[in-house]
Structure 1
Amino acid sequence: MQLQRTRDTAPELALRRRLHGMGLRYRVDVQPLRDLRRRADLVFGPSKVAVFVDGCFWHGCPVHGNPRPAANTWYWPDKIAGNKARDTDTDRRLQEAGWAVVRVWEHDDPKTVAGQVAELVASRRTLRRGQRLPAAAPSTSEADRT
């Protein structure tokens, strides 16, 4: 699994191109929190927005099901369940620290997602320095993740 690409995937690049075209700048593949050993695909630091582009297979997409490879069939259910649990824990920790978390599936339309992310970043940027950011809204597509 070390050979699996963790950054610069086609869905991530499509989203990055859209956001960059909208004039938004972000950091790629960074830890939003120093004490959290997890990396977000895109981070808008000053706005405290973390974006994760989740692969359907690796994160258990409810739309595409979860086909199991022929090899090591015993391994995959626990692996994917662990990934989902880690995603939930990551979201909780970031939200407790005042971050807005956006999780999208690899099959989501990049244009639509870019618009949603741009709107969220803009709304969080309008807050003046010294003001506390509002509590983060639940992740996008949260209803689809259960």
Structure 2
Amino acid sequence: MDEVEHDVTKARQTKTKVGSSQTHPDGTRERTKVPWALSEAFLADLLDQVCQRMNDYKLEVDPVTKEKTFKRFAPRKGDKMYQEFKKFSFYSEAYRPLKFACESIIEEYEDKILSLIAREARYLADKLCSEKPGLCKTSPDRTEF
């Protein structure tokens, strides 16, 4: 959800609006414009591709609690280090469960995710977890899928 929220936030910063038109049975046309971040094309593309970026995360084990978590290690496109970093190719079998979990969540909760984005919700992971009981486990300082 962090990846989805990041992309939506960046898209909201652009003032680009896209439109569509609809012709009614009486022959009149109605044009609508929506921000790019809420457009069907942007959101469909985002949800189709977001899970491909799970290899930008690495599996870390807390030395004290032995709890395993995935943390982003790769810079995002547009970050200062991105140009240098993209020269390298990383692949780890460790990210496969994260990619599978991402794909499963997107498939099962796509409508809910789109609804949260349409309401311009912030903290998408927390909102999704609170609205879909049983999806996430919580600890005092964070929510996890």
TM-score, normalization: structure 1? 0.25
Greater Cα radius of gyration, structure 1 or 2: 2
Q: More strand per residue: 1 or 2?
A: 2
Larger relative contact order, structure 1 or 2 (CA cutoff 8 Å, min sep 6) = 1
Q: With the length of structure 2 as denominator, give the TM-score of the two structures.
A: 0.25
Higher helix share: 2
